[in-house]
Structure 1
Amino acid sequence: MKNLEGLHARAKALRLHGLLAHWSEAVAEPALAKAGAWVEQMLDWEEQERARRSLERRLQDAHIGRFKAVCDFDWTWPKRCDRATFEALMSLDFLKDATNAVLVGPNGVGKTTLARNLAHQALIHGHTVLFTNAGQLLGDLAALDSDSALRRRLRYYAAPALLLIDEVGYLSYSNRHADLLFELISRRYEQKSTVVTTNRPFAEWRDVFPNAACVVSMVDRLMHNAEIVAIDGESYRVKEARERAEQRAKQRRGGK
Structure 2
Amino acid sequence: MNRTEQLHERAHALRLHGLLAHWSEIAEASWVEPLLQWEEAERTRRSLERRIRDARLGHFKPLADFDWTWPKRIDRAALDELMTLDFVKDKSNIVLIGPNGVGKSTLALNLAYQSLIHGYTALFTTAGQMLGELAALDSDSALRRRLQRYASPEVLVIDEVGYLSYSNRHADLLFELVSRRYGTASTVVTTNKPFKAWSEVFPNAACVVSLVDRLVHRAEVIAIEGESYRVKEAREQAEQRASRRNAARQEKKP
TM-score (norm 1): 0.92
2:183 maps to 1:190:
yes
**Residue number in structure 2 paired with 1:5:** 5
Q: 1:121 aligns with which of 110, 114, 122?
A: 114
The Cα offsets for residues 59-93 of structure 1, whole Å up to 9 and x where unpaired, read as 11111111111111111111100111111111111
**Residue number in structure 1 paired with 2:71:** 78
Q: 2:138 aligns with which of 125, 135, 145?
A: 145
Identity, % of aligned positions: 71
The Cα offsets for residues 85-110 of structure 1, whole Å up to 9 and x where unpaired, read as 11111111111111111111001111
Please tell me the root mean square deviation across aligned C-alpha atoms, in Å: 1.5
The Cα offsets for residues 162-202 of structure 1, whole Å up to 9 and x where unpaired, read as 11000000011001001101111111111111100000111
Give the CA deviation at 1:44.
1.1
Q: What residue identity is the alignment partner of 1:12?
A: H
Name the CA distance, whole Å, in 2 between partners of 1:215 and 1:22. Answer: 64
Name the CA distance, whole Å, in 1 between partners of 2:196 and 2:18. Answer: 60
**Residue number in structure 1 paired with 2:81:** 88
Structure 2 unaligned segments of length 5 or more: list them. 250-254
The Cα offsets for residues 94-151 of structure 1, whole Å up to 9 and x where unpaired, read as 1111111111100111111111111211122222111110000000000000000000
SS of 1:7 mapped into structure 2: helix
**Residue number in structure 1 paired with 2:217:** 224
2:236 maps to 1:246:
no
Give the CA deviation at 1:250.
2.0
* Matched residues, number: 249
Name the CA distance, whole Å, in 1 between partners of 2:60 and 2:193. Answer: 23
Name the CA distance, whole Å, in 1 between partners of 2:100 and 2:177. Answer: 25
Structure 1 unaligned segments of length 5 or more: list them. none
